[in-house]
Structure formats: structure tokens, C-alpha cells
């Protein structure tokens, strides 16, 4: 037999016999440690002293109605007869309609191949950095996928599948765009079709196997078809008011979520840092070494420091007042200028000041006072824990988008408290690639601990 997927924690896999039949194999939990460490996916083995049984009707990974099961007397050895031919890996693909029809039925587990639209809440862009700490902590990763020009699908990768995805994603020289995941379980969740990985699931990207290579060829020749579905529309955040945001934070059971909120800028808060020094690679907050800047996320002892926005705004709408924290690229979207340019311009005009000098709030930020914008706002764990009421802005929509619908009074939707309390579900919105890494910095900034970070970046 040839192991086709490797054996997972539940002992389920697909195996191919000499006759070419792909069949389900099963190792009982008590025997996994005996056989699994010696098995490598794609390798050829001889198995003796096993028994066959009828396959269960739920969670099958192969067509035959029988399963090969390892017994306590089973012997597994490497098969070295290279003259024996085995067929290529066989996948069982389903499309959107087939998965939709099989939702929540616990039936056969099929494979899915498609192209990646979003990883977490981040759009698929060159240089995309995954928050591995968050993924390891939550033990899951959500990926938005699409097959050809079909509907978007949410894929939840759990435990080892999430870890494998991260490792393969990082190992690719270019950002991978095609994914194949085996034995996924279709479910209906939050009003949409979702696919969930199991312990038997395996992940392949771009050039890993022939189906991903074939799909990548199609994708390169049909970018217009692949881009017909806009992930920003599919994952559009729910529109709320400032009052709704505060009600959501107070509601027991609320989770980290993104919302769309229209508000007017009342003031830019002075007396604290309006930017932070980040790692030039992943944009995580850099830490000071003896003579250089270091990055804990990248693991580098010497990085180039780049100024990124971390600005506290006083905002209001028709009924309420609050504080928004302008983070990273959202600041550039608001002012039209990167923070690094404003910082360098200040030091060029004030050569006598030292590197430890705190740069005052620039005119580009002050000029935004009185402007009305639509913000994508993140309710973070720090908000839910009651550590801060300042809400993080991860994206600022263009002024035209807000102006097209009328003035602030016409745009603000005043929702009843009971409606707000129903927003306990996770809302998928646009986010900056480094927002999760800097949540702690946002919290500390407005406790008065971050003023020392508003200093000139030193190149490592």
C-alpha cells in the first residue's frame, strides 16, 4: 500500500493498493503512537495482519464501503520493490453546490481547491505577514476562498492544519494564491457555507501537487474572472454608531469584531505619542537594543525602524462622543501622507533637536479636525476586558464614499440597544496586517506609557 495523506490524530487516512483502489485506512487511537511516527505521506509500505470492516456512513474519506483497520498484531514495513507502480494521488473534489447540499449532514469528507481571497481579515497582498502568535493561541485560522468565478467560501483551519498552512505560507518565496485542503466538513454557520478542517485534513499550496499547479495555471490566465467577487464587499463590516460600539463592548459574550462607523473628528489628542517606531519588515512595534532596534516577531536583532501612525482622535456623531486610535496605514488614508515622511520632515527642519525629541502633532493631522469620515473600527480584547475605551481604526474609507450618501446626520444609524446586543457574532472587516501585533501598544499609549516611543527612528 502507499500512504496518500499520512495518518492524522484520529487515525483516518486514504491509502492506495497495488490495484490502484483508494481506500480508507484507520489506526485505533491506542495504536497511533506505535505506527504513526514511522509513516511518511507518499511512502510505500507493506502491511500484514490487518482486518477489514464496513466503513461508517459518516465522515468517510474514500468511496469503498470497507475500511482497512490496524490490529494489535499488524506489522508495517517499508516496501522496497520499486517495480510496483502506484497511481498518482487521487483527490475527491466538490464544488460550492455539492458542499452546500451536504452541509451539517456528517457525510463524506471531500477535498476543496480554489484561490485565496483573504487570510484572516487581511487581503492577499505581496509581503503579507501572518500573526502566528494569535493563530497559535486561538488554534485556528479563517481563510476566504473562491473556486473559479463561484461564490466565496469561508474555510476554518484548526490545530495542525492551521500550523501547516502557516509553515507552508512562510516557506513560499512569493505569496501563495492557490490552496487545496483535503477532507473538509461542510457546515452552515452565520448564514453562510463554511468548510472546517479535521485532524485528517492536509493543506497544499500553489505548486505542491498537480491539482494546485493546474489551478494556478488557470488563475494566471483568468485574473479578470477570479477578481469578479470583491472580498471587501463580501466581508463588509456592519454599520454602527459610536453608541452602538459602547453597547456592544458592555454586552456579555461579545468578541473581537470589526464595525463601520461614521463620525466627525473633534480634535487630535496632544500630550502623547502620535506615532510609534515599527519594524520595517512586519510593522510590529520595534524594541530598543543596546545599539540597534530589534523585532520580537521577526526574531531579528537588527531591523530598520519606520515611523507608523498611532494617533488618538476625539470624535463624535449625532448622539455620542468617543476616542478612536488611528493605526498604521489608516493614518496615511486619513492624511494622505505616511507617518515616516512627516517625522523625517520635522527633523530635517529642526536639526538642532536630538533623536529623543518627541515630534509634535503635524499640521496634516490638525487639518483633519472637522472632517467627517467613515472608519473601520476594531473592538479589541483590551476594550472587552475594560482596559481601555479607545477604539482602534484599521481603515479610513475615502471621503467620497461618505459624501455620496449625504451628511453625517443622514448617515448615522441610531440602533436600539436590544439590536446592538444581538451583534455577538464575529464581523469580518478590513484590517491592517499589523493591527493584532500592536493592540497592546494602543492600550499602553493612552495609559501614558508610550510618549517615549515618539522619537526619531534609528536605522539598524
What is 2-78's CATH topology?
OB fold (Dihydrolipoamide Acetyltransferase, E2P) (2.40.50)
CA 458 to chain centre: 31
Residues of the chain with CATH 2.40.50.140: 2-78, 96-233, 238-453
pLDDT at position 203 is: 93
Containing 300, the helix (H) or strand (E) segment is strand 300-303
Q: What is the pLDDT of residue 290?
A: 67
Helices (H), 39-151: 96-101, 132-138
| pTM for the model | 0.48
Query: Under 8 Å CB-to-CB from 264, ≥6 apart: which residues?
Result: 315, 316, 317, 370, 371, 372, 408
336 C-beta neighbours (distance < 10 Å), count: 10
Per-residue pLDDT tens digits of the chain, which is 460 residues long: 544 433 333 455 666 554 556 777 888 878 888 887 877 766 788 888 888 877 777 777 777 777 888 888 888 888 777 676 666 667 888 888 888 888 888 878 889 999 998 888 777 777 778 877 778 777 888 899 988 878 888 899 998 899 899 989 988 888 899 999 998 999 887 557 889 998 888 899 999 888 999 999 999 998 888 777 666 555 566 789 999 999 989 887 777 778 889 999 999 988 778 988 887 766 677 777 666 788 776 667 777 888 889 999 999 999 999 999 998 888 999 999 999 899 889 888 887 776 667 788 999 999 999 999 999 898 888 898 888 889 999 889 876 544 444 443 333 333 333 333 344 333 333 344 444 444 544 444 444 433 333 344 433 3
Report yes or no: 146 and 192 within 8 Å, Cβ to Cβ: no
DSSP state of 430: -
Q: What is the pLDDT of residue 361?
A: 92
Q: What is the pLDDT of residue 14?
A: 60
Write down the CATH number for the domain with range 96-233. Answer: 2.40.50.140
What confidence score (pLDDT) does residue 56 get? Answer: 73
pLDDT value of position 315? 96
Q: How many CB atoms neighbour CB 231 within 10 A?
A: 20
Name, in order, each residue with C-beta under 8 angstroms of 203's C-beta and a sequence gap of 6 or more.
157, 161, 164, 165, 168, 179, 180, 181, 182, 197
What is the predicted pLDDT for the residue at 355?
Answer: 65
Chain-centroid distance, C-alpha 259? 17
CATH level 3 topology of 238-453: OB fold (Dihydrolipoamide Acetyltransferase, E2P) (2.40.50)
Task: Say if residues 153 and 145 touch (Cβ distance below 8 Å).
Answer: yes
Amino acid at each position: 500500500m502507499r500512504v496518500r495523506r499520512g495518518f492524522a490524530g484520529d487515525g483516518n487516512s486514504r491509502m492506495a493498493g497495488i490495484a490502484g483502489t483508494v481506500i480508507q485506512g484507520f489506526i485505533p487511537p491506542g495504536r497511533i503512537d506505535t505506527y504513526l511516527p514511522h509513516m511518511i505521506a507518499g511512502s510505500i509500505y507493506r502491511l500484514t495482519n490487518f482486518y477489514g470492516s464496513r466503513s461508517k456512513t459518516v465522515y468517510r474519506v474514500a468511496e469503498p464501503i470497507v475500511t482497512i483497520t490496524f490490529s494489535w498484531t499488524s506489522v508495517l514495513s517499508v516496501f522496497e520493490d520499486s517495480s510496483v507502480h502506484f497511481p498518482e494521488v487521487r483527490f475527491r473534489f466538490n464544488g460550492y453546490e455539492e458542499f452546500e447540499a451536504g452541509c451539517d449532514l456528517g457525510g463524506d469528507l471531500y477535498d476543496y481547491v480554489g484561490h485565496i481571497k483573504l487570510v484572516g481579515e487581511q487581503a492577499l497582498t505581496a509581503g503579507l505577514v501572518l500573526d502566528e502568535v494569535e493563530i497559535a493561541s486561538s488554534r485556528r485560522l479563517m481563510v476566504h476562498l473562491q473556486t473559479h468565478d463561484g461564490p466565496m467560501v469561508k474555510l476554518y483551519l484548526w490545530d495542525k492544519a492551521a500550523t501547516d498552512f502557516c509553515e507552508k505560507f512562510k516557506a513560499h518565496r512569493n505569496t501563495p494564491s492557490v490552496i487545496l485542503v483535503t477532507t473538509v466538513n461542510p457546515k452552515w454557520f452565520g448564514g453562510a457555507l463554511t468548510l472546517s478542517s479535521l485532524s485528517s485534513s492536509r493543506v497544499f499550496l500553489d505548486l505542491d501537487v498537480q491539482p494546485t499547479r493546474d489551478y494556478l495555471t488557470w488563475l494566471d490566465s483568468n485574473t479578470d474572472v477570479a477578481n469578479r467577487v470583491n472580498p471587501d464587499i463580501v466581508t463588509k463590516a456592519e454599520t454602527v454608531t459610536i453608541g452602538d460600539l459602547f453597547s456592544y463592548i458592555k454586552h456579555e459574550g461579545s468578541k473581537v469584531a470589526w464595525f463601520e462607523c461614521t463620525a466627525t473628528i473633534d480634535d487630535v489628542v496632544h500630550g502623547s505619542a502620535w506615532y510609534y517606531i515599527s519594524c520595517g519588515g512586519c510593522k510590529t512595534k520595534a524594541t530598543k537594543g543596546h545599539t540597534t532596534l530589534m523585532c520580537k516577531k521577526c526574531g531579528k536583532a537588527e531591523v530598520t525602524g519606520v515611523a507608523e501612525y498611532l494617533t488618538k482622535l476625539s470624535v463624535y456623531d449625532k448622539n455620542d462622543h468617543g476616542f478612536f486610535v488611528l493605526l498604521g496605514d489608516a493614518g496615511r488614508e486619513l492624511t494622505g501622507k505616511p507617518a515616516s515622511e512627516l517625522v523625517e520632515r520635522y527633523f530635517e527642519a529642526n536639526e538642532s533637536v536630538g533623536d529623543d525629541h518627541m515630534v509634535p502633532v503635524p499640521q496634516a493631522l490638525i487639518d483633519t479636525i472637522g472632517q467627517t469620515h467613515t472608519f473601520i473600527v476594531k473592538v479589541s480584547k483590551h476594550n472587552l476586558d475594560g482596559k481601555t475605551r479607545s477604539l482602534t481604526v484599521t481603515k479610513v474609507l475615502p471621503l467620497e464614499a461618505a459624501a455620496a450618501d449625504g451628511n453625517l446626520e443622514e448617515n448615522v444609524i441610531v440602533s436600539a440597544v436590544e439590536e446592538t446586543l444581538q451583534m455577538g457574532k464575529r464581523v469580518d472587516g478590513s484590517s491592517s496586517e499589523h493591527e493584532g501585533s500592536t493592540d497592546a501598544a494602543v492600550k499602553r499609549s493612552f495609559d501614558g506609557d508610550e510618549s517615549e516611543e515618539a522619537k526619531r527612528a534609528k536605522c539598524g
